């Protein structure tokens, strides 16, 4: 299920949770060899929920598909030395290291670049000053939970998708490839620091939200599911709830026509002296007038009739459905989606999992590779990458510096 | 404010809204030359909110910083021909095209690759089958709004951050560089299709949420701001609201110690026969027992005492604050953050905006470049990139096929 675009590239990952590991996952699923090292027994994310019924972390095995796993005791000097050696192992297409270890620890850029001058170190951080943070604390600090949720409820609402983590992971994969490209031109390594806080603050700048507050002098108010600055909201139909969005003039005209609201909208436009088709923002400004018209029509429709009419006309809409409903739907979202392949995971469970989100139209998807068992590749990697002999590897095992795969019964 | 990692690379962008343009923005801010073409008068995102008081789109000028702008009448055959010529213009480091135009339109991969065999086309899509979608309709279809928000309120809650758009944009920048790397090895171009729907479905697989539903047979319940599978939630303090997260054993022990809850927690552990430090999931399972202890302590604290004690100990927390509060805070989030630079934007407004989220520790940040005015670079790009002469360019202007920058009074 992977594509060979990054074939030959070798990335070492010493990271936990979502941002760093998803960066490694994206690289692995595009063909890079990604070697993840963890403490023996697993890093801080090895038991992260969701868990399978047998106690295995579905999260861990989801985020580490197609990687190799090395287990090291990083509390020992010898183990730390092995981690540094892995991150800086030779090879023209190696020397790429993704981590969320601290800036000043034993995996500092100074320590790494002393061993391999052209190493590229992509370091995911919480706050830019090194203070600890996770997606949800960054989000609270940026103001989004106060803008999320129904207008009649003042409680802050956290997003449940770890959006900042995910965005950081994808941006990290991009930044690593950018630095790799530069290194291929000029031979120079880099330390790239990527704090969740800066991903968030820069994003709010890019989207115009920083400028919005500066220019307006006020925060955006909570407005439930109303789409800011255009027409969009959730509406009840007879047997469910849908979201409808109309940003472009075509989307708006099609929606109004399909719902048979042309005359009423035209009357309102005459009364107000404006054109809703010409200016998407007016649909937002006057939404209190517009919504009742749409509510009345939708209240008489059911999901089937919305679907057949809206899909035929290309209206931008969706029903609100549960993930379990999405999983069994026959619309290609999950079932029948070529991204997904059923395979056996290290937990021992067999279920479908996804390859790369991107589809390369001219290349077949190669088969998906499951996550390794923790420590599954310890010996092989130390031998091939660091050139350790059998005896040396056996000694490291004896001293507890490294470990092979755990038995499956641990779950 | 940009870094020169991608110096020499030239990317043409024919895209609108967030995913495609943010991909181009990331590339531009890492040193690529990014040329965006739009319809004369602006594409469908040219008036997207938020707007400044003078009517300019703060969104558009946020997402197009550091790019060049070419304005073309794409309803004319000649204009379409120019768009194809731009996307496939010669140059070893060119031939990289980011778009959300339809798969089968005049900017199809077949049309592009007929003109330049090794073109790399990154195509952002809504649904994988070509059906229209935006971030918020995809999100509704994936089940997240039903899992978001207070448990005592059944209404679906849309996220307000366009997380799928943003993730798609960053992943697009990654995928484009991956294809560029492969092309430098083997000379081959690609069409990479990147639907929002597949970004979302694969993400829910990577995070273990697909497996969770399959294995448990049930959807995750709404649980307000409770952190799934570990300890974390919002709590009221005397003068505000905070979020506290404890996932690792150290985070948990520090939090419990700082709040003086060791004895009560130990008693609960004895009663229940478990260790909350050893298993983060137990803190979630027994959260109804744990929360009241924390609520009582926090109710007696204020933000200042939380801040001084928690920061000193490295507890993972944040206050819930508004974006306007974040903007004026003296903690480096926005004020004093070297990512930000005050500059004049095409709207005529002057306000701080962000460069790349990543900081390269050994390189200075070059100055940030504002977004172009629409059509600002039309003549220059057609001359330099397509080799059109002055007379030819003048004729295209006369026929209305291309346009230069609009006057600022249009705002």
> Quick one: three-class SS letters along B20-45?
HHHHHHHHHHCCCEEEEEEECCCCCC
Identify which of B25, B201, B325 has the shortest CB distance to residue A339.
Answer: B201
Task: Indicate if the pLDDT at residue A213 is higher than 90.
Answer: yes
Residues of A in contact with B339 (CB under 8 A): 198, 201-202
Identify which of B160, B197, B358 has the shortest CB distance to residue A148.
Answer: B160
Which parts of A197-268 are beta strand (E)? 231-237, 240-246
Task: Indicate if the pLDDT at residue A388 is higher than 60.
Answer: yes
Q: What is the pTM of this model?
A: 0.98
Q: A306 and A238 in contact (C-beta within 8 Å)?
A: no
In the stretch 106-145 of chain A, residues with CB closer than 8 A to chain B read 109, 126-129, 131-134, 136-138, 140-145
Map residue B123 onto helix, strand or coil: strand
Whether residues B201 and A333 touch (CB distance < 8 A) is answered with yes
pLDDT recorded at residue B109: 98
pLDDT, mean of residues A358-383: 97
pLDDT recorded at residue A198: 98
Residues of A in contact with B276 (CB under 8 A): none
Residues of B in contact with A195 (CB under 8 A): 357, 359
pLDDT band at A407 (very low <50, low <70, confident <90, very high): low
The token duo for B71 is 């304005």
Interface contact A54, partner B, CB < 8 A: no
Spans in chain B with pLDDT lower than 50: 409-411
pLDDT recorded at residue A1: 55
pLDDT recorded at residue B189: 97
Confirm whether A165 is a catalytic residue. yes
pLDDT recorded at residue A406: 79
Choosing from A38, A73, A165, A379, which is the catalytic residue? Answer: A165
Residues of B in contact with A59 (CB under 8 A): 207-208
Which parts of A58-135 are beta strand (E)? 68-72, 96-99, 120-125
- Kind plus residue range of the DSSP H or E element containing A224: none
Residues of B in contact with A30 (CB under 8 A): 175, 178
Whether residues B314 and A355 touch (CB distance < 8 A) is answered with no
pLDDT recorded at residue B406: 79
pLDDT tens profile B187-234:
999 999 999 999 999 999 999 999 999 999 999 999 999 999 999 999
Whether residues A30 and B175 touch (CB distance < 8 A) is answered with yes
Burial class (CB in 10 A: 0-12, 13-18, 19+), A206: buried
Distance between CA atoms of A268 and A271, rounded to whole angstroms?
5
A188-191, long-range: CB < 8 A, 24+ apart: A188/A118, A189/A95, A189/A113, A189/A116, A189/A117, A189/A118, A189/A119, A189/A120, A189/A121, A190/A120, A190/A121, A190/B5, A190/B360, A190/B361, A190/B362, A190/B363, A191/A109, A191/A113, A191/A120, A191/A121, A191/A123, A191/B360, A191/B361, A191/B362
pLDDT recorded at residue B409: 46
pLDDT recorded at residue B2: 87
Whether residues A228 and B50 touch (CB distance < 8 A) is answered with yes
Residues of A in contact with B159 (CB under 8 A): 148, 159, 161, 163
Distance between CA atoms of B253 and B255, rounded to whole angstroms?
5
Closest CA to B211 of A58, A394, A241: A58
Whether residues B146 and A211 touch (CB distance < 8 A) is answered with no
Task: Indicate if the pLDDT at residue A411 is higher than 60.
Answer: no
So which residues of B are the catalytic ones?
Answer: 165
Minimal C-alpha gap between A81 and chain B (Å): 24
DSSP bridge partners of A37: A70
Give ipTM to 2 decimals.
0.98
pLDDT recorded at residue B408: 53
Whether residues B279 and A150 touch (CB distance < 8 A) is answered with no
CB pairs under 8 A between A and B: 510
pLDDT recorded at residue A272: 98
Interface contact A161, partner B, CB < 8 A: yes
CA closest to A157 among chain B residues: B149
Residues of A in contact with B368 (CB under 8 A): none
Higher pLDDT, B411 or A85: A85
pLDDT band at A245 (very low <50, low <70, confident <90, very high): very high
Interface contact B59, partner A, CB < 8 A: yes
Whether residues B143 and A325 touch (CB distance < 8 A) is answered with yes
Distances (CA, A) of A97 to A75, A105, A198, B17: 20, 15, 20, 33
Interface contact A82, partner B, CB < 8 A: no
For chain A, percent of residues with pLDDT exceeding 90: 97
In the stretch 205-264 of chain A, residues with CB closer than 8 A to chain B read 205-220, 224-225, 227-230, 232, 234, 241-243, 245, 247-248, 251
pLDDT, mean of residues A241-249: 97
């Amino acid at each position: 299920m992977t594509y060979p675009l990054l074939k030959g590239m070798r990335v070492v990952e010493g990271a936990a949770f979502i941002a760093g590991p998803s960066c490694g996952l994206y690289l692995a699923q595009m063909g890079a060899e990604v070697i993840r090292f963890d403490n023996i027994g697993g890093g801080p994310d090895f038991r992260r929920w969701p868990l399978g019924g047998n106690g295995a972390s579905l999260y861990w095995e989801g985020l580490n598909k197609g990687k190799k796993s090395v287990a090291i005791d990083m509390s020992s000097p010898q183990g730390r030395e092995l981690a540094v050696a892995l991150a800086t192992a030779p090879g023209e297409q190696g020397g790429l290291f993704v981590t969320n270890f601290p800036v000043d620890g034993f995996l500092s850029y100074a320590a790494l670049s002393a061993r391999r001058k052209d190493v590229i170190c992509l370091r995911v951080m919480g706050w830019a000053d090194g203070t600890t943070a996770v997606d949800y604390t960054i989000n609270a600090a940026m103001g989004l939970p106060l803008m999320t949720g129904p207008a009649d409820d003042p409680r802050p609402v956290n997003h449940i998708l770890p959006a900042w983590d995910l965005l950081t992971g994808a941006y990290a994969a991009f930044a690593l490839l950018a630095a790799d490209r530069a290194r291929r031109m000029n031979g120079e390594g880099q330390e790239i620091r990527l704090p969740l806080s800066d991903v968030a603050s820069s994003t709010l700048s890019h989207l115009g939200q920083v400028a919005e507050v500066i220019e307006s002098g006020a925060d955006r108010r909570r407005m439930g599911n109303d789409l800011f600055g255009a027409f969009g909201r959730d509406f009840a139909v007879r047997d469910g709830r849908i979201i409808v969005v109309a940003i472009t003039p075509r989307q708006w005209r099609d929606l109004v026509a399909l719902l048979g609201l042309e005359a009423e909208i035209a009357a309102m436009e005459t009364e107000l002296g404006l054109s809703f088709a010409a200016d998407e923002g007016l649909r937002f400004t006057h939404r209190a007038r517009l919504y009742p018209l749409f509510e009345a029509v939708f209240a008489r429709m059911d999901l089937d009739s919305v679907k057949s009419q809206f899909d035929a006309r290309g209206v931008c809409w969706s029903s609100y459905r549960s993930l379990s409903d999405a999983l069994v739907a026959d619309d290609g979202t999950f079932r029948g989606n070529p991204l997904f392949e059923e395979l056996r995971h290290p937990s021992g469970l067999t279920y479908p999992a996804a390859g790369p989100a991107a589809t390369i139209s001219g290349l077949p998807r190669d088969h998906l590779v499951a996550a390794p068992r923790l420590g599954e590749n310890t010996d092989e990697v130390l031998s091939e990458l660091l050139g350790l002999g059998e005896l040396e590897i056996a000694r490291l095992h004896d001293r507890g510096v490294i470990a092979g795969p755990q038995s499956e019964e641990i779950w």
